[in-house]
């Protein structure tokens, strides 16, 4: 079996089509198609990326000898993250879901989160040297009225955001699109 056939075998073992396999390693599906064609050269950089990303034995990929997957590598990057960052199950699911999105969808999610941060900055003005967690968690330092004002401002900003996407019906009343 050639290296080209082993790449095809690996991709199919992972249950990925050429487009998804390529996306995982930062290559276009045309490049994956090329690498899977018998006689095509697979450059060292691409061999290394494949091995690192999918925990494949470089020896197996290059020669066909030994096990396909490295025995000492974690199952995936989230094994390492879960241990090092002490991720909860929900945090891991959120990260997996985010990174399973295509590039355009990830950008949309990122933009959405950035906009939430900007909206929060407009609603509650916090001096740069003050920690926002102190404001949101300190019942003693924040009177009930001030907390209610902050919540009211957040709801108003959220409602305003919804209203900007509303359309006007025939009788002039705003309704959700």
The residue extents of the domains of the chain are 3-63, 74-100, 103-165
Instruction: Return the pLDDT at 168.
Output: 38
Q: Give the range with max mean pLDDT: 42-46, 145-149, 173-177.
A: 42-46
Buried b / exposed e over 77-97, threshold 16 CB at 10 Å, is: ebeebbeeeeeeeeeeeebee
Following CA atoms 23, 30, 14, 36 in sequence, which dihedral angle do they give, to the nearest 10 degrees? -150
Choice between 1 and 86, residue whose per-residue pLDDT is larger: 1
Class of domain 3-63: mainly alpha
Does pTM surpass 0.85?
no
pLDDT band at 164 (very low <50, low <70, confident <90, very high): very low
CA separation for the pair 132, 77 (Å, rounded): 32
Instruction: Return the pLDDT at 117.
Output: 82
Say yes or no to pLDDT of 169 above 80. no
Question: Residues 83-137: pLDDT tens digits?
Answer: 788 888 788 788 878 888 899 999 999 999 898 888 777 665 555 454 444 444 4
């Amino acid at each position: 079996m050639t290296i080209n056939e082993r790449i095809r075998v690996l991709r199919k073992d992972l249950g990925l089509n050429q487009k998804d396999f390529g996306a995982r390693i930062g290559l276009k599906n045309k490049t994956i198609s090329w690498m899977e064609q018998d006689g095509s050269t697979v450059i060292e950089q691409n061999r290394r990326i494949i091995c690192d990303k999918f925990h494949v034995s470089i020896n197996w990929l290059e020669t066909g000898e030994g096990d396909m997957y490295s025995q000492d590598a974690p199952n995936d990057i989230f094994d390492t993250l879960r241990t090092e960052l002490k991720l909860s199950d929900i945090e891991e699911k959120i990260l997996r879901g985010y990174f399973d999105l295509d590039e355009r969808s990830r950008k949309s999610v990122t933009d959405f989160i950035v906009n939430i941060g900007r909206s929060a900055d407009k609603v509650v003005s916090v001096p740069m040297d003050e920690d926002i967690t102190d404001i949101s968690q300190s019942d003693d330092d924040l009177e009930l009225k001030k907390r209610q004002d902050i919540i009211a401002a957040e709801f108003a900003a959220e409602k305003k955001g919804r209203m900007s996407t509303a359309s006007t019906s025939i009788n002039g009343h705003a309704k959700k699109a």
